[in-house]
Amino acid sequence: MPLQPSSYRQITVAGFPVGLTGLDEIFQLLRQAGRALEDSTGAELLRLVGEQNYIPPAAEGDYRAAILQEYETYCELESAGKPAKKRESWQGFPREQVPWFPTVDETSCDGCDKCLEFCSHGVFAKREDGTVFVAGPYDCVVGCDACARLCRHKAITFPPRMTLMLMAHGK
Ligand code: SF4
Ligand code: SF4
């Protein structure tokens, strides 16, 4: 039966925010089929996502890596019993269309866990290898940057605040 996507997510592809439809339905399908995190799954994800969205041919590698990373996070949250939830909109925009979320520079992060312990919104999580990553970018409170200020290595960054001002004023 063909997929009937209704979900929308914004993910980061090669450092740029990209909005995609149908990711939740595709992830659910592959997870139910027991698809592991491997190259063939990345190719299958790219094919299915490409049926619902335009993927520039020259950027297929970046999209495949980003979507596979998103699928990994999805599987981790599902395994932990924390499935993706519906979020409140911001200024009339679906939360997933608002590009406000932390990015962790893994080359600067020492895994001290301060951000993880501080943020009560479940934005950060830890991989088995001890590295901290952003598991719930759209659970971040729009406009908050408190965790960036407490990171002693300045490993956490946010988009320019001007982005929010322009969105709020319809520019
Ligand atoms: S507070 Fe900074 S250094 Fe510590 S885990 Fe978070 S990102 Fe890494
Ligand atoms: S900015 Fe605030 S809400 Fe967002 S991840 Fe950091 S502490 Fe959590």
pLDDT tens digit sequence for 8-17: 777 888 877 7
Q: Measured in angstroms, how far is the CA atom of residue 24 from the centroid of ligand 2?
A: 23
Residue 122 Ramachandran class (φ > 0 left, ψ -120 to 50 alpha, else beta): left
Residues 3, 50 contacting (CB under 8 angstroms): no
pLDDT tens digit sequence for 111-164: 999 999 999 998 998 888 888 988 888 889 999 999 999 999 999 999 999 999
Q: Topology of 98-168 in CATH?
A: Alpha-Beta Plaits (3.30.70)
Ligand with an atom nearest the CA of residue 147: 2
For ligand 1, is residue 23 a contact (CB within 6 Å)? no
Q: Which structure tokens are listed for 103?
A: 């990015």
State if pTM tops 0.75: no
